[in-house]
C-alpha cells in the first residue's frame, strides 16, 4: 500500500529476525556443547580424580573439579546468604522509608553487580596477601561470596519489596517486633523468591572462573580442608582445552557438558521452586 505500511512490514520482519538470531545463538551454544561433549562422556569422568599423566591423555576424571566447585559455590552461597538476607531485611523492614542509607545501599549493589568477576578475584588476592594466606578453598569462597552478594541481594530485594505494606502493619498491630515480623512474616512470604535468589547465586558461583583463578588455586585431589587449594569445573575446562592433546580436549568438552547440565538443572529447579513453594503466601 503506502510507504508507511511497507516500512512497518520491513521493521517487523527485522525484529522477528533479530529475536530469532538471539534465540538461535542460545540453541547453537547448547547444541555445540551437547554434540561435542556427550560422545566424550564416560563414567570415569565423574567418578575419578585425575591420575598421573591425566593431562597427557592418561586415565582419570574430573571428580576433583566437580566436588571442588560444589564446595566452593556452596560455601560462597552460604556466606552470601548470611550477609544478604539480613541486609535485605534491614532495607525493607528496619530502615525508615526513603532513608539515604537505603537508596545508597541499593545503588551500591547495582554498581557492584556490574563489577567484573576478575576484579573480585584480584580483590580476593589482595585480601589473601593481607592475611598472608595461600590460594585455598577458603579464599575462593570469600572471593566468590563477594561476587555473588550483589546478585543475590538484588534478587531478594526485588521480591521482598513486592510484599504489601499492610501485611507488615498487620503483624505490628498484633504486637510483633520488627525482628519477628522480618523472620516470621516477610521471610515466609518471600520464601520462593528467596530460594530462587539463592539458586541464581549458586549458579553464578559454580560457573565463574575469573574470580577463582587467583584465589582457589587448582589441585588434582579433592580438598579435605578449607585451607587446601581446590579445583573448579570452569578452570578444569579451561586447562584441558589449553593442552595440545586431542583426548584431553575431548575431556574439556565433556566437562563443559557437565557444567552446562548443572546450570540447566539449577535454572529449571529455580523455576519449579517458584511454583512449588507458594503455600505460605498470603494473597
Binding to another protein (CB under 8 A): which residues in 93-112? 94-95, 101, 104-105, 107-112
Count of residues for the chain? 283
CA angle 155–149–71, rounded 5-degree value: 110
238 binds another protein (CB under 8 A): yes
Q: Is the Cβ of residue 32 or residue 42 nearer to another protein in the bound state?
A: 32
Identify which range of 8-16, 38-46, 58-66, 186-194 contacts another protein by CB under 8 A: 8-16
Contact region with another protein (CB under 8 A), list: 24-32, 48-56, 165-173, 187-195: 24-32
Of residues 44, 263, 269, 277, which one binds another protein by CB under 8 A? 263
Distance in angstroms (rounded) separating the CA atoms of residues 100 and 97: 9
- Give the position of cell 508507511: 4
- Which range touches another protein (CB under 8 A), out of 38-46, 50-58, 158-166, 202-210? 202-210
Under the criterion CB under 8 A, does residue 126 sit at the interface with another protein?
yes
User: Does 239 help bind another protein (rule: CB under 8 A)?
Assistant: no
Please check whether residue 151 is in contact with residue 201, taking contact to mean a CB–CB distance below 8 angstroms.
Answer: yes
By beta-carbon proximity to another protein, the closer residue of 25 and 51 is: 25
Q: Grid coordinates 534478587 are at which residue?
A: 155
DSSP 55: G
- Which residue from 58, 86, 169, 174 is in contact with another protein, where contact means CB under 8 A? 86
Q: Nearest Cα to 106, choosing from 147, 145, 157, 164?
A: 157
Element (H, E) at 246: helix 246-276
DSSP for residue 95: S
Residues 127-146 that bind another protein (CB under 8 A): 127, 129-130, 146
Amino acid at each position: 500500500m503506502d510507504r508507511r505500511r511497507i516500512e512497518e512490514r520491513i521493521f517487523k520482519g527485522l525484529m522477528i529476525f533479530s529475536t530469532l538470531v538471539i534465540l538461535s545463538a542460545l540453541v547453537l551454544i547448547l547444541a555445540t556443547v551437547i554434540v561435542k561433549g556427550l560422545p566424550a562422556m564416560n563414567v570415569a569422568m565423574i567418578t575419578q580424580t585425575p591420575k598421573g599423566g591425566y593431562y597427557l591423555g592418561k586415565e582419570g576424571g574430573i571428580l576433583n573439579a566437580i566436588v571442588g566447585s560444589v564446595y566452593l559455590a556452596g560455601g560462597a552461597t552460604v556466606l552470601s546468604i548470611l550477609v544478604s538476607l539480613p541486609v535485605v531485611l534491614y532495607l525493607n523492614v528496619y530502615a525508615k522509608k526513603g532513608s539515604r542509607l537505603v537508596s545508597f545501599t541499593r545503588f551500591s549493589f547495582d554498581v557492584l553487580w556490574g563489577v567484573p568477576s576478575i576484579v573480585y578475584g584480584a580483590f580476593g588476592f589482595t585480601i589473601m596477601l593481607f592475611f598472608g594466606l595461600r590460594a585455598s578453598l577458603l579464599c575462593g569462597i570469600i572471593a566468590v561470596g563477594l561476587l555473588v552478594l550483589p546478585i543475590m541481594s538484588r534478587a531478594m530485594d526485588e521480591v521482598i519489596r513486592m510484599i504489601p505494606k499492610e501485611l507488615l502493619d498487620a503483624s505490628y498491630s498484633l504486637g510483633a517486633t520488627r525482628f519477628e515480623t522480618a523472620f516470621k512474616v516477610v521471610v515466609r512470604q518471600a520464601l520462593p523468591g528467596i530460594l530462587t535468589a539463592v539458586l541464581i547465586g549458586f549458579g553464578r558461583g559454580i560457573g565463574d572462573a575469573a574470580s577463582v583463578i587467583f584465589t582457589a588455586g587448582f589441585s588434582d585431589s579433592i580438598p579435605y580442608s578449607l585451607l587446601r587449594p581446590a579445583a573448579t569445573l570452569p578452570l578444569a575446562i579451561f586447562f584441558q582445552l589449553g593442552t595440545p592433546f586431542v583426548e584431553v580436549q575431548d575431556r574439556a568438552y565433556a566437562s563443559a557438558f557437565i557444567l552446562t547440565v548443572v546450570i540447566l538443572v539449577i535454572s529449571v529447579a529455580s523455576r519449579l521452586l517458584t511454583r512449588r513453594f507458594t503455600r505460605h503466601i498470603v494473597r
